[in-house]
Amino acid sequence: MRRSLLRFYDRGHRDLPWRRTSDPYRILVSEVMLQQTTVSTAIPYYQDFITRFPDAASLAAAREEDVLAAWSGLGYYSRARNLVRTCREIVATYGGEVPQRPDQLRALPGVGPYTAGAVASIAFSCPEPALDGNVARVLCRLAATPGQGSAERRRFDDTLRELLRGRRPGDLNQALMDLGATVCTPRRPACSRCPVRRHCAARSEGAPEKYPAIVKRPRLRQVSACGVLIRRKGGVVLVQRPEGVPLAGMWELPGVSGLEEPSGPLDVGGIERVVAAQTGLSVSVSGILASVRHTVMRKRIVLDIRGGMVDPGARHSHPLRPRERSTALLLPRTHRILRPDTTPALPLSTACRKSLAAVDRLDLCGTGRQRLSRLQSRPSTRR
Ligand code: SF4
């Protein structure tokens, strides 16, 4: 099996930018990006990120806001924050060199067994498993086992350690990743092209797609949210999410972060009070201009974009009601103006980027060819 996998890898592995380097820092960055993101989505981000932060020292010295801006659109922003903390630790403890031992790697912020195994095996040729979803699926099918539970995961780990006890452990891990991504795919495995088909119990049974067993996921929760588009000084008003909440530090349209059904959306008066508390501006809010949909962390969010006019005569000094306070995510009375021509890249939440794209599509800001969403515009996809 080892020989077949290496032959498969040598004959035509995927040509990915992080496979053209042996720099452990770059391999670490790529593996962190790939934790929740597809390869095709990660590639342009990886290239920009490495150009901007070419080594651990440059990332360690960077402002978190700049790193989040470079990550903007990839989602799961705790990965970016952890990567900065990891690089600071690498600089402080290891003189700027990524440590080699799996236990040292696992002790770094945000580096779990998979990432540690991938970096240790690919960059340092340690025989360490890198068990991701693709590899787990291949192992499930080889053994015709449902693949659920921690005991199974441990067994897969043992199997991989056995397999990696030869030469080229990094290439073997990558061969299994490629096999899962390109041949042993979830719905239609191409068994006739598989280099390990004669070892495969699921194929012998005749229905490899049965494995791994399907896990029933909980239903998505429906959430309504609202962003208010306030045009000001040739741009659009944005507010920053405070510390201690998901997506802390990201910028977005002022408004209501999310109300779960059946409580339903706030009325216009409630939205105006929330926006006033967030921005320090008295704003009259109008009707819905556009709606965008966004799914994140088991929530399906419908975000209505409403118009907002700064109206110094409007009086929104009333205190927020409890329900308004709980959804406002307040970092009170601070805002910035995003302009298509002058604003440096800000870390924008994916929902905000979708909102700006909708604003651009309808040309609600009259910015013509200078598109707000083009400041940072890439789609985000789960791996
Ligand atoms: Fe997957 Fe088919 Fe190969 Fe088995 S033979 S590992 S099911 S592609």
Q: How far is the CA of 300 from the centre of ligand 1 (A)?
A: 34
Tell me if 98 sits within 8 A of 92, measured CB to CB.
no
Residue 3, burial from CB neighbour count under 10 angstroms (0-12, 13-18, 19+):
exposed
The per-residue pLDDT string of the chain (383 residues; one tens digit each, 9 = 90 and over) reads: 999 999 999 999 999 999 999 999 999 999 999 998 999 999 999 999 999 999 999 999 999 989 999 998 888 899 999 999 999 999 999 999 999 999 999 999 999 999 999 999 999 999 999 999 999 999 999 999 988 788 888 999 999 999 999 899 999 999 999 999 999 999 999 999 999 999 999 999 999 999 998 888 888 888 888 999 998 888 889 988 888 778 888 888 998 877 665 566 778 888 888 888 888 888 999 999 999 998 887 888 899 999 999 887 665 566 777 777 766 665 555 677 777 665 557 888 888 888 888 888 877 666 555 566 554 444 333 33
Answer whether 144 contacts ligand 1 (Cβ < 6 A): no
Q: Is the beta carbon of 201 within 6 A of some atom in ligand 1?
A: no
Cβ-Cβ contacts under 8 Å for 49 (sequence gap 6 or more): 29, 33, 70, 71
Is the shortest distance between the CB of 196 and ligand 1 below 6 Å? yes
pTM across the whole model? 0.81
Atom of ligand 1 nearest to the CA of 191: 2
Task: Please tell me the distance between residue 15's alpha carbon and the centre of ligand 1 in angstroms.
Answer: 22
Nearest-atom number in ligand 1 for the CA of 193 is: 8
Measure the CA–CA gap between 63 and 60, rounded to whole angstroms. 8
- DSSP, collapsed to helix, strand or coil, labels residue 284 as strand
- State whether residue 269 is helix, strand or coil: helix
Which residues participate in catalysis according to the annotation? 31
Which atom number of ligand 1 is nearest to the Cα of residue 195? Answer: 3
Tell whether ligand 1 has an atom less than 6 A from the beta carbon of residue 138: yes
Q: What is the rounded (10 degree) CA torsion for 174, 175, 179, 182?
A: 70
